[in-house]
Amino acid sequence: MSETLVERHSGAVAGPIASPKELLPYAIFAGVLLALLVYFVGAEEGAASLIGGSSVHEFVHDARHLLGFPCH
């Protein structure tokens, strides 16, 4: 874990709280979640559909319009 150095007289905090190497798994996880969200909101219908039927489309229908994706 990263350590912080606190100087009591000036109130300054030196040193990183977390390094990019420590944050990389969280950044990848967030990126995958966002990519899935954009897929389901923007492209889950028709020939690109992973789930049959219109249940996913109807579930995210208002979000599609809010984000500017055409759907009908």
* Contact of 49 with 71, CB cutoff 8 Å: no
Q: Identify the pLDDT of residue 63.
A: 81
Handedness of CA 29, 35, 38, 42 (dihedral sign): negative
φ and ψ at residue 15, rounded to 5 degrees:
100, 150
Q: Identify the pLDDT of residue 60.
A: 79
Q: What share of the chain is helix, strand, coil (3-state, %, to 5)?
A: 55, 5, 40
The structure's pTM equals 0.58
Q: Identify the pLDDT of residue 67.
A: 80
- Select the highest-mean-pLDDT range: 16-20, 30-34, 39-43: 30-34
Q: Identify the pLDDT of residue 3.
A: 62
pLDDT surpasses 60 at 70: yes
Residue indicated by tokens 């759907």: 71
